[in-house]
Amino acid sequence: MSIFRRLLSDAVVYSLTPLLSSLVGFLLVPVYTRTFSPTDYGALALVNTTTTLATIFVVFGLDNSSAIWFWEHPEKHERSKTFSSWLAFTTVTSVAVAALALLLRAPLSRWLFDDVRLSGLWVLFAVNLVAVNIPRIGILWYRMERKPWPAVGLGAVTSVGTAAFGVLFVVYLHVGLSGVIAGQAIGSWLGTIAALIALRRVFSVRAVDPPRLPPMLRVSAPLVLMTNLNWVMSGAVAYFVNFLCSREDAGLYQVANSLSSVLGLVIFAFDQAWAPLALSIREVPVARRVYGVTVEAALVLGLLLAFAATAFATPALLVITHPEYVPARWVLAILALNTVLINIPSVLSVTFAREKVTMPLAKATAAGAIVTVALVPLLTTRLGKEGAAAAVLVGTTIILGLSFRASQAVFPIDVRLGRIGGAVLLGVVWTGIFLATRRFAVTLGPMIGHATLLVLTLAVAIAVLYRRPLREAWAEGRAARGT
């Protein structure tokens, strides 16, 4: 099987896990937006944002280090030591952070919600945090083993459990906001139990190797900084909107953020299949070309999806949510493009991983985060939630530019910037056409027809632009068969 065919087949299967997770989140959006006001949704957004922040510290980038150690120490018992040590570290740190949240639940509620009655949300946050990252460890093990279907099944346990219990608590038992977090916690614990049972021969207390953790943590430390900075540019913005505007605006921002994150599925699917494959072919002569085509494909396909999100923003919010959430349409358009751009450095990161160099990526992220933090208060104060989204987009663009420049210095790959520029120009032209003609589509039916026509014509234009290079890339992939 050619390299490109392997990548495509693995991407399709690996995409099922994030697809299911995002599909569950997507299906829960109309349930929750029809049950909760934007103000209440803002409270959920702040709790989930804090969960993301805590996860950064309890995982500490060990997914990246574990992948590297997996390939460098291929003996079965060595791989078990690597993943058992990661599991032990994450479990201990999760319990510590959860205990801190329990102690500070009242101050957190006053500070973020201005309502101490919501302190129970932090109890459920603590219960969820202890388990939420363990299925992730099991999923990575199966990815490294090139066993995508068990990874999909493990992810499905968590996603389906979260959805089922969330709907049960919110819709049928009318528990309210607590029901959402309780559903997440139960889904996480179901996934944890499934992972520990399925991988009982991999995870073992005896296999925990404390001396192995320091070098793994040293490799991952710059990525922790990078991930924290990414969180500042995405999740932390909800805090800014909450304090500078209102909790209602924070809820609108989060709805747009949740819907736009669905666009990351395709790129995420590439990344899930791409990381193991890229590391396994790092010495193959055609690697530079394969890396370059992958980056181009992820970026251009992402830009097409971002335009589609912009064109369908208003009808999507009308159909999926409630009319009171329609003011989030321009935030959705901006964050859709941001979702595309922020995922590209993760595709580029394999060039750093193959050389065990992570600091350049961290520096690029730091630069973008600094710009974002500087712009968010200014633009949010003047432009509201849309200004906050614009500040994030500016920072993300800086990260992408600096990451690409650094990756070319570490391991140059064959990326045709002119061809990417042509695709970007097509997107800009089509966006201009959309803005100039959208006044002719003021009702739902014409809105959808108008958006569909524009998206399809742009897809055809990009397909024409990339027909020849994709054909050449496919030929190179076939030539590399058996390597």
Q: Note the pLDDT tens digit of each residue in 450-478.
A: 999 999 999 999 888 877 766 766 666 55
Residue 313: count other Cβ atoms within 10 Å of its Cβ: 24
Spatial contact of 127 and 185, defined as CB atoms under 8 Å apart: yes
> What is d(CA 127, CA 105) in angstroms, rounded to the nearest whole number?
13
Mean pLDDT value of segment 17-35: 77
Q: Which H, E and C letters describe 131-191, residue by residue?
A: HHCHHHHHHHHHHHCCCHHHHHHHHHHHHHHHHHHHHHHHHHCCCCHHHHHHHHHHHHHHH
Spatial contact of 27 and 163, defined as CB atoms under 8 Å apart: yes
- Per the listing, tokens 């999100």 go with 309
Within 8 A by CB and 6+ apart from 153, the residues are none
- Give tens-digit pLDDT for 179-198: 999 999 999 999 999 999 99
Written as one string, the DSSP assignment of 373-432 is HHHHHHHHHHHTHHHHHHHHHHHHHHHHHHHHHHHHHHS-----HHHHHHHHHHHHHHHH
Q: What is the dihedral of CA 320, 323, 328, 334, to 10 degrees?
A: 50
SS3 202: coil
Which of 83-87, 92-96, 256-260, 272-276 is predicted least confidently? 272-276
> What is d(CA 133, CA 87) in angstroms, rounded to the nearest whole number?
9
pTM of the prediction?
A: 0.73
- Per the listing, tokens 């530079």 go with 288
Query: Which of 261, 175, 215, 272 lies closest to 86, judged by CA?
Result: 215
- Give tens-digit pLDDT for 202-244: 888 888 888 888 888 888 877 676 666 667 677 778 888 988 9
> What is d(CA 369, CA 374) in angstroms, rounded to the nearest whole number?
8
Residues in the chain, overall count = 483
Backbone angles phi, psi at 263, to 5 degrees: -65, -25
Amino acid at 61: G
> What is d(CA 251, CA 242) in angstroms, rounded to the nearest whole number?
8
pLDDT at 263: 77
How much is the mean pLDDT over the chain? 84
Which of 73-82, 110-119, 243-252, 354-363 is predicted least confidently? 354-363
Residue 20 corresponds to which tokens in the numbers above?
């299911």
Question: Cα angle at 409 between 420 and 213, to 5 degrees?
Answer: 110
SS3 1: coil
Tell me which DSSP letter residue 204 carries. Answer: -
Residue 9 corresponds to which tokens in the numbers above?
């087949």
Q: Which H, E and C letters describe 57-78, residue by residue?
A: HHHCCHHHHHHHHHHHCCCHHH
Which of 1-5, 196-200, 391-395 is predicted least confidently? 1-5
> What is d(CA 439, CA 430) in angstroms, rounded to the nearest whole number?
15
